[in-house]
Amino acid sequence: MTRRWASSTVSPAPACTTTVSPGSPVLVVDALLGHDYFSRWTDTEFIFLFNEVDPDRYASLAKVVEGLTTRWSPWPKNVKVRSENRAFSELAEEMLAGVKGLIPLFAFIDPFGYRDIPMDLIRRMLQHDKAELFIFDFNSVNRFAGKGGRSPVRGAVRL
């Protein structure tokens, strides 16, 4: 029986942050394929979805994702990688509608603002037992660091 595990990076940092520093797609796939126990996980399918809504940044991301399969040779049959150029809400709704229960999922969500990340959508994703979401917004952390008060847009997610 094949087990499935999915990872989704939505609006990631640049696929390659500098000429010497790889971005999250390379780092996460290298971490998996270079893991000491990876050879024991042949019965587990790993699915990586990297998304970038900005067309210019997506072009860079797509090249990096395509290059992943040549970075490791031979490419393992149980690892799938793909890139998308879509809005987060569209992808997340598709994931929720396409399966009765999400397969184990770790999603790293790095938004630019909150326009495309409805709290209700996040709530529905978190209702699945095996879904973990890491939401990081570096720009807002810097912008609001040290300021008093709280934005009403960032209301609590009620499960």
Q: Say whether pLDDT at 21 is over 70.
A: no
- Taking the CB of residue 125, how many other CB atoms lie within 10 A of it? 21
Q: How far apart are CA 68 and CA 61, in angstroms?
A: 11
pLDDT in tens, 34-58: 999 999 999 988 888 888 888 998 9
pLDDT in tens, 79-135: 999 899 988 888 888 877 765 555 777 877 766 555 667 888 888 888 877 778 877
Domains of the chain, each with CATH number or no CATH: 3-154 (3.40.50)
pLDDT band at residue 145, thresholds of 50, 70 and 90?
Answer: low
Long-range contacts of 58-66 (CB under 8 A, 24+ apart): 58/83, 58/85, 60/14, 60/15, 60/16, 61/12, 61/14, 61/15, 61/25, 63/15, 64/15, 64/16, 64/22, 64/23, 64/25, 64/26, 65/15, 65/25
Q: What pLDDT is attached to residue 143? A: 58
Cβ contact 42:1 at 8 Å:
no
